[in-house]
Amino acid sequence: MKENTESITSILEKYPRAELLKTPFLIQRLNRLSSFIGNVIYILRDDLTGFALGGNKTRKLDYLIGDALVKKADTLVTMKASSFSRNAAAAGRVCGFDVHVVLAGDESEQNPASQAFFKQYDTELHYVSKDKESALPDVYNHLVESLKAQGKNVYELHPGGSDSIGALGYIDAFNHILRYSQSSGVHFHRIIHATGSTGTQAGLLLGQCISGYDTHIIGIAVSQKAEVQSKRVNELALSTAQMLGIQFDTTHTLIDDRFIGPGYAISSDEGKNAVKMFASMEGILLDQVYTGKAAAGLLNYAINKQFNHENVLFVHTGGNSDLFY
Ligand SMILES: Cc1ncc(COP(=O)(O)O)c(C=O)c1O
């Protein structure tokens, strides 16, 4: 193993990208919210990544599609109706792939907005009825095998895009944060974001680890208890570190599971309040499933005076999942 002396840029240079990120990254100071809660809050606008539905999936797909292109794949396969699958369908279509998605539930049970989106991108959809949902991985594997048997060069996309290649997108995001911090002189003592399939946090933690930047990265869990989620984040960070040939220290991984509310994809009162505050004070739209709950965590820390006058960076990982639940 090498020491972590290479800069993030030189480590990432070896990995091809599909150039999906259309806008320069954007960090803004939230003046009204900051004066209201008595802490300086900045936001990384990853809802504005500029491709299809935007959000954190664009950063992951930039590397995943780049990898698929280098491997000369012609077909992408993934499963479940998620913001990742929808953005994958868009990215795949734009970059010339056939895209297949295996969905839980019959056609009539799907969210119409999600279906319209898939249709827009000519996605091949495969349905597994709800009473046979446990067969979803088998149907998926069978599909992959039959596409290969037809001579297709298949690239499999991990649900949520959270594998070692996808996580590179958030190492790159950390580099953006670092550059902003260096050019503006603003040091972020804490970075707060929603954590689900783990790629976002694993990437950010690796970026911190490579650069040695002194901060606390806090993942607000949207579905899993802290113990389970931190194990999942560390597993991905360790496998990605191994791919990159760097060391990773798992002891810095922080997960807060107090804002899940009634459950995954079920809105919480604290989340709704946070969504309203960001909308009415800053004109920034969050969603109830991910970013609203992460913002509820941020507001709770501020109200309970846990920030100690530090600069806090909130990562807006995308805000449109309300359309699809
Ligand atoms: C809007 C939004 N924010 C955050 C997340 C969580 O990111 P990750 O899955 O990389 O942990 C997701 C995942 O689906 C998401 O859609």
Position 3 in a domain: no
Q: What confidence tens digit (pLDDT) does each residue in 35-56 have?
A: 999 999 999 999 999 899 989 9
The answer to whether the CB of 166 is under 6 A from ligand 1 is no
CATH code of the domain in which 97 resides: 3.40.50.1100
| Residue 114 CB–ligand 1 contact under 6 Å | no
Compute the distance from residue 126 Cα to the ligand 1 centre, in Å.
23
Ligand 1 contact via 54 beta carbon (within 6 Å): no
The distance of Cα 80 from the centroid of its chain, to the nearest Å, equals 16
Confidence of residue 191 (pLDDT cuts 50, 70, 90): very high
Q: Which two tokens stand for residue 281?
A: 């004070």
Same domain for 211 and 156 = no
In a domain, 251, yes or no: yes
Give me the residue label for tokens 């020491």.
3
Same domain, 207 and 307: yes
Query: Do 195 and 318 sit in the same domain of this protein?
Result: yes
Clarify whether residues 253 and 287 are in a common domain: yes
Q: How far is the CA of 293 from the centre of ligand 1 (A)?
A: 11
Asked if residue 61 and residue 39 are part of one domain, the reply reads no
Eight-state DSSP code of residue 105 = B
Q: Is 324 touching ligand 1 by the criterion CB < 6 Å?
A: no
Residue 304, phi then psi, degrees to nearest 5: -90, 15
On whether residue 234 sits in a domain, the answer given is: yes
Does some domain include residue 193?
yes
Q: How much is the CA Rg of the chain, to the nearest whole Å?
A: 19
pLDDT-based confidence at residue 322 (cuts at 50, 70, 90): confident
Same domain for 107 and 155, yes or no, is yes
Same domain, yes or no: 190 and 249: yes
Cα 239 to its chain centre, rounded Å, is: 17
The structure tokens listed for 162 are 């959270």
The total number of structural domains that make up the chain: 2
Domain end marker among 161, 192, 227: 161
Range of the domain at 76: 57-161
Asked whether 97 lines ligand 1 (CB < 6 A), one says no
CA 24 to chain CA mean position, Å: 18
- How close is the Cα of 3 to the center of ligand 1, in Å? 30
Looking at residue 289, its pLDDT comes to 95
Whether 191 contacts 217, CB under 8 Å: yes
User: Quick one: which atom of ligand 1 is closest to the CA of 320?
Assistant: 1
Query: What's the 56 CA to ligand 1 centre distance in angstroms?
Result: 7
User: Above 70 in pLDDT, residue 325?
Assistant: no
Q: How confident is the model at residue 5, as a pLDDT?
A: 45
* CA 82 to centroid of ligand 1, rounded, Å: 10
Based on the domain organization, do 40 and 138 belong to the same domain? no
Could you tell me if the CB of 207 is within 6 A of ligand 1? no
Q: What's the confidence (pLDDT) of residue 92?
A: 97
**How close is the Cα of 291 to the center of ligand 1, in Å?**
8
Question: Atom 13, ligand 1: which residue's CA is nearest?
Answer: 196
Arithmetic mean of pLDDT, 173-184: 94
For 6, half-sphere exposure in the C-beta direction (CA atoms, 13 angstrom radius) is 15
Residue among 224, 228, 173, 174 at smallest CA distance from 196: 224
Helix locations, the chain, DSSP H: 8-12, 31-37, 56-70, 83-94, 112-120, 136-149, 164-184, 199-211, 226-244, 269-282, 291-303
Tell me the average pLDDT of the chain. Answer: 94
Residues 248 and 273 in one domain: yes
Q: Final residue of a domain: which of 161, 190, 216? A: 161
Residue 182 lies in a domain: yes
CB of residue 49 inside a 6 A radius of ligand 1? no
Query: Ligand 1 in contact with 321 (CB < 6 A)?
Result: yes
Q: How far is the CA of 13 from the centre of ligand 1 (A)?
A: 25
- Looking at residue 24, its pLDDT comes to 78
What are the φ and ψ backbone dihedral angles of 98, each rounded to 5 degrees? -85, 140
Confidence at residue 6, expressed as pLDDT on a 0 to 100 scale: 61
User: Do 184 and 290 share a structural domain?
Assistant: yes
**Ligand 1 binding pocket mutation candidate from 162, 197, 234, 324 (most atoms within 8 A of CB):** 197
Q: Is 288 in the pocket of ligand 1 (CB under 6 A)?
A: no
Asked whether 160 lines ligand 1 (CB < 6 A), one says: yes
pLDDT tens per residue, range 116-144: 999 999 999 999 998 888 999 999 999 99
Residue 150 is assigned to a structural domain of this protein? yes
Residue 69 lies in a domain: yes
Q: Residue 266 is which amino acid?
A: I
Instruction: Give the pLDDT confidence score for residue 2 in this predicted structure.
Output: 40
Whole-number Å distance between alpha carbons of 45 and 43? 6
Mean pLDDT of the region 294-306: 95
Boundary (domain end) residue, out of 112, 146, 161: 161
Question: Is 309 contained in some domain?
Answer: yes
227 and 150 housed in the same domain: no
Please check whether residues 230 and 128 belong to one and the same domain: no
The residue-averaged pLDDT of 49-65 equals 95
8 A C-beta contact, residue 16 and residue 45: no
Kindly tell me if the per-residue pLDDT of 4 is higher than 80.
no
Q: What are phi and psi of 247, to 5 degrees?
A: -90, 150
